[in-house]
Homo-oligomer: A and B are copies of this chain.
Amino acid sequence: MKDVAVIGIGCTVFGEKWSHSFRDLFIEAGALALEDANLSGEQIDSLFVGNMSAGRFIEQEHIGALIADYAGLATEHTPSTRVEAACASGGLAFRQGVTAVASGMADIVVAAGVEKMTDVAPGQTVDTLASAADREWEGFVGATFPGLYAMIATDYMHRYPLTREQLALVAVKNHYNGARNPIAQFQQEISIDTVISSSLVADPLRLFDCSPITDGAAAVILAPLEIARKYTDTPVKVLASAQASDTIALHDRRDISTLDATVAASQRAFHQARLSHKNIDLVEVHDCFTIAEICAIEDLGFCTKGEAGKLTEEGVTALNGDLPVNTSGGLKACGHPVGATGIKQIYEIVQQLRGEAGKRQVDAQIGMTHNVGGTGATVVVHILGRS
């Protein structure tokens, strides 16, 4: 297997992009990534695109071909493949790109993610997102994602010491980081009171415990590490790429507030990279809800179960803490265009490792990403390092 590096990155501003179509979004992100790597389109060997549900959001399937076409690559007949794993689609697109380069089947590969979520009526958005859960056993009885994660939060808070204020601090921290990220959907700091006094969505989760509905796209370019310096002075090496599955329905789990697929993917990633937790300088975790960040920190193994609330309160996960978590603002503040999120996480880690993160910059040699589909039925973990 060849070593693989990220040689270019691009991302749109995330938000409600009423003036941008699905096509506009990925073209913008892709063009930024190509420019970053000093490449032109015809040098691309292959594309992998993460997208959750364009079929339902914009009535369009066959997303890989659509993207190759609108990127001007139809005359090159460049292979282009869509992968889907709900909100982990972006992370899996990155993983397919890594596999293609590692295998030797392709050299210059684009891994992208895109979602246009605002072009449907609000009820349809929630119902489409619910198609990431078990439709027959969860969706048909009315369960939506705020409801499912509220069950996780309720179970967690019953069993472990986590206060309402500690949970709110996850959102406060991520908004603080988002306020320093020019691509973030929400660039405003908030207080604990903002969270606690916001509308109740699904007890105990309130509006500011939830990530928003977002349009956006992100793209990164991969190449064999051995030729990466032809394109960039700051290649970022892929140290591990790991994936794990679990039951799609929450009620079938051994334990609903421990994501076993996060535990498995994390262990596989550390094993591949021959690294331990103390080597990780920062991590982008999948905080679709505040409780998800609490579980992620623990299930990735950065502390024991029940400790992440205290860690958050002590500032360990803050920008200036020992383990900065979600320096991008996370899904909560940066926004969550579901198919793009996994690639945006890579985008953030690469910016940090290159020293290009501006007001969010932390001191980092090695970073991790953690991308979740559904309530944890798919988890993808990557470890990236300076090269």
Interface residues of A (CB under 8 A from B): 1, 46, 52-53, 55-56, 58-66, 68-69, 73-74, 77-86, 92, 95-96, 99-100, 102-105, 127-128, 131-136, 139, 241, 243-249, 252, 260-261, 264-265, 373-374, 377-378
Contact between A103 and B245, CB atoms less than 8 A apart: no
Contact between B77 and A61, CB atoms less than 8 A apart: no
Known pairs A79-B245, A80-B378, A99-B100; A373 contacts B62 (CB<8 A): yes
CA distance A351 to B361 in the complex (A): 58
Q: Nearest Cβ in chain B — how far from A371, in angstroms?
A: 13
Known pairs A1-B105, A61-B86, A85-B65; A245 contacts B135 (CB<8 A): no
Contact between A62 and B77, CB atoms less than 8 A apart: no
Count of chain copies:
2
Contact between B62 and A85, CB atoms less than 8 A apart: yes
Q: Nearest Cβ in chain B — how far from A87, in angstroms?
A: 9
Chain B residues within an 8 Å CB radius of A378: 62, 64-65, 80
Interface secondary structure of A, over-half rule: mixed
Chain B residues within an 8 Å CB radius of A244: 77-79
Chain B residues within an 8 Å CB radius of A59: 127, 131, 135, 139
Chain B residues within an 8 Å CB radius of A128: 55, 61
- Among A131, A241, A265, the most chain B Cβ lie within 10 Å of the Cβ of A131
Of the candidates B80, B252, B374, which one forms a contact with A62 in the assembled complex, judged by CB atoms under 8 Å apart?
B374
CA distance A147 to B46 in the complex (A): 31
Known pairs A52-B61, A99-B100, A139-B59; A245 contacts B74 (CB<8 A): yes
CA distance A242 to B367 in the complex (A): 34
Contact between B77 and A81, CB atoms less than 8 A apart: no
Chain B residues within an 8 Å CB radius of A78: 244-245
CA distance A229 to B135 in the complex (A): 40
Of the candidates B80, B85, B100, B241, which one forms a contact with A81 in the assembled complex, judged by CB atoms under 8 Å apart?
B85
Contact between B85 and A82, CB atoms less than 8 A apart: yes
Contact between A246 and B85, CB atoms less than 8 A apart: no
CA distance A244 to B68 in the complex (A): 10
Chain B residues within an 8 Å CB radius of A246: 65, 69, 74, 77
Contact between A84 and B85, CB atoms less than 8 A apart: no
Contact between A245 and B64, CB atoms less than 8 A apart: yes
Q: Nearest Cβ in chain B — how far from A370, in angstroms?
A: 15
Closest partner residue, chain B, to A249 (CB atom): B69
Chain B residues within an 8 Å CB radius of A139: 59-60
Contact between A261 and B77, CB atoms less than 8 A apart: yes
CA distance A151 to B77 in the complex (A): 22
